[in-house]
Amino acid sequence: MRTSLNRAIITAAVVATSGLANAQDYSNTLGDPGFTGSYVAGLTVHDDGSGESLFAVGSFNIFGGGASGAQIARWDGSAWQSVGSGLTGGYTNAVTSFQGDLIAAGYFDSASGVAGSAKLARWDGTNWNSMDAQSEIFLNSFWDLEVYDDGMTGEQLYIAGNYGDLNGNTALDHIAKWDGTTYSAVGGTIGGAVPLIVLDLHQADLGSGNMLYAGGRFLTIGGNAALNVAQWDGTSWSAMDLGVSRTSGFAQVLHMTVWDDGNGPDLYVGGRFNLAGGVSVSTNIAKWDGTSWSSMGDGFDGDVHELVVFDDGSGETLYALGNFSNSGATPIAGVAKWNGSAWESMNDSVDGSIFTGIVYDTGEGESLVIGGGFGNIDGIASNRVVALLPASCAPDLTGEGDLNFLDVSAFLSAFGNQDPAADFVVDGNYNFLDVSEFLAQFSAGCP
Handedness of CA 218, 221, 227, 232 (dihedral sign): negative
What's the pLDDT score for residue 16?
41
Residue 18 has pLDDT above 50, yes or no: no
Residue 6 has pLDDT above 50, yes or no: yes
Residues 93-109: what's their mean pLDDT?
A: 98
Residues 70-95: what's their mean pLDDT?
A: 96
Percent over 90 (pLDDT), the chain:
77
Residues 200-216: what's their mean pLDDT?
A: 97
pLDDT band at residue 20 under the 50/70/90 scheme: very low
For residues 271 and 290, give the distance between their C-alpha atoms in angstroms, rounded to a whole number: 19
* Per-residue pLDDT tens digits for 210-236: 999 999 999 999 999 999 999 999 999
The whole-angstrom distance between residue 278's C-alpha and the CA centroid of its chain comes to: 28
* Per-residue pLDDT tens digits for 310-337: 998 778 999 999 999 999 999 999 999 9
DSSP structural state of residue 364: S
* Per-residue pLDDT tens digits for 155-174: 999 999 999 999 999 999 99
What's the pLDDT score for residue 302?
98
Residues 203-216: what's their mean pLDDT?
A: 96
pLDDT band at residue 15 under the 50/70/90 scheme: very low
For residues 307 and 292, give the distance between their C-alpha atoms in angstroms, rounded to a whole number: 19
CATH architecture of 26-388: 7 Propeller (2.130)
> What does R_g of the chain's alpha carbons equal in angstroms?
24
DSSP structural state of residue 23: P
Q: Where are the domains of the chain?
A: 2-18+397-444, 26-388
Residue 53 has pLDDT above 70, yes or no: yes
What is the b/e burial string over 329-366, where b = at least 16 CB atoms within 10 angstroms of the residue's CB? eeebbbbbbbeeeebebbbeebebbbbbbbbbebeeeb
Handedness of CA 170, 221, 234, 271 (dihedral sign): positive
* Per-residue pLDDT tens digits for 377-428: 999 999 999 999 987 777 888 877 678 888 889 989 999 899 888 888 778 8
- The number of CA neighbours under 13 Å toward the Cβ of 110 is 9
